Amino acid sequence: MNMNNSPANVTGSGRFSVGSRLLHGCLRALGAASALGALAWGASASAQNAPFLYINMGVGTAEEGEDASFRVCRGGSQTEDLTVNFAVTETGDMVTSPAPTSLPFDGADTSFRCTDFNVPTDDDDMDEPDSTVTLTLMAGTGYELRDQADVDGEVLVTDNDEAGGDGDGDGDGDGDGDGDGDGDGDGDGDG
């Protein structure tokens, strides 16, 4: 067997050309991997700069008839207009219907990072339990919800009516109960 023609036994410029081809192939593969890595990093960096939303508040309080106020904040890129979707729920019956479900953020105002969003409540004349109003940010187009721990805000809305009254605040109630049964059952049976 003649091994003089094998690449390992080639001398002179032939040996370097095989090595050069191997080196060139490795560099080409490394360059492609590097380009893919840069592309992936660029996508990750742009995702990190995408607008993201969060609620920046503890549990707030309000009295019925006052607005339940929520602070919604925007981070990341500030250049695009956004319409932020959310849901409003409550444990009682104080939110005036229907509650809004979106909030616009103006992209032209780059200093506009947080805004207070108000949910109106009804100042009725009925004594009722306090109500917790919750605003939950929802997924939407053009923004992310960065941290699930910061997508809900709560406001405790307290009732301002006296217990046992007729709702006018003086606590006197009419106590009338009206029991309107007239008791005139006909008793018309055959025997």
**Per-residue model confidence (pLDDT) at position 6:** 44
Per-residue pLDDT, averaged over 23-42, amounts to 42
pLDDT of 34 over the 90 cut: no
Q: What are phi and psi of 12, to 5 degrees?
A: 75, -145
Q: Rounded to 5 degrees, what angle do the CA atoms 49, 54, 55 make?
A: 155
In this prediction, residue 165 carries a pLDDT of 56
Number of Cα atoms under 13 Å in the Cβ half of residue 151: 16
Q: What is the mean pLDDT of the chain?
A: 72
C-alpha span between 119 and 34 (Å, rounded): 51
Residue type, 21: R
Calpha distance 6→24 (Å, rounded)? 20
pTM over 0.75: no
Amino acid at 125: D
75-107, pLDDT tens digit by residue? 887 778 889 999 999 999 999 888 788 888 877
Q: Does the pLDDT at position 27 exceed 90?
A: no
Q: Which pLDDT score, from 0 to 100, does residue 112 have? A: 61
Confidence of residue 37 (pLDDT cuts 50, 70, 90): very low
> Contact 68/119 with Cβ under 8 angstroms?
yes
User: Is the preceding omega at residue 100 within 30 degrees of 0, hence cis?
Assistant: no
Average pLDDT on 39-59 reads 64
